[in-house]
Amino acid sequence: MAGRLHRLAASLALLGATVGGAEPLRLAVASNFFSAFVRIEGGFPEPLQPAYGSSGLLHAQIVQGRPFDVFLSADKARPMALVRSGRAVRPVVYAKGRLALLVNEGQASGAWLEGKRRVAIANPQTAPYGRAAEETLDALGALVQRITALNVAQAFHFAMSGAADGAFVALAQIVALPEPVAPTSYWIVPEELYAPIEQWAVVVSGGDEAGAEALLDYLAEDGTQAAIREAGYR
């Protein structure tokens, strides 16, 4: 009952803000979630202002004081660090990511990595998908030339543009590609090769916390979760 009353209060607060002219809800969104977010943002009744980047970069910006209302990270560690420091509340899992290898020539597979390949990965120090890519390469013993990208979106661009022979990306980025997609091929990396990619969200303290709570409720709705799964997530 308390939870329902809290959500009702948040909704009423949003309604009041709308009548008075709502400011966009400011979102820090992990790059991998771009295509999924485009699918679902239209179902939320209030204006949204997303900023995309690696989870590490966005986390650093929040710590440095950049104003955000919601942080949609690609990992658990950074949102929880914000909670422990008092900068955020209400940590929840909103998606579970899947890693894929995208190549622009040949048939993508674990065996493909045995050749002399230039493979782009997101920076493993700041991007969870980069960390997962590094874990996969180490597990396979693949001796490829690693090209470090700022984030998973840039790694994807390196592969699609031919700047790299392939890239480890989020499966969601591939699902979003128009058909037909040539000359690309992809391999869904077995999940036992890397630690689970649980993507957590938090309400950033000091912002529009009522609007942020409403957005997290929206992300948890059955219809929204179905759309997120269709976009390539668990």
pLDDT in tens, 133-148: 999 999 999 999 999 9
* Phi then psi dihedrals of residue 119, to 5 deg: -120, 125
pLDDT in tens, 177-205: 876 655 579 999 999 999 999 999 999 99
Sequence-ordered list of residues with C-beta below 8 angstroms from that of 45, at least 6 positions apart, any chain: 14, 18
Cβ atoms of 137 and 113 closer than 8 Å: yes
Q: What is the structure's pLDDT at 180?
A: 60
Angle, CA 130 vertex, CA 159 and CA 167 arms, to 5°? 15
pLDDT in tens, 33-63: 999 999 999 999 999 999 999 999 999 999 9
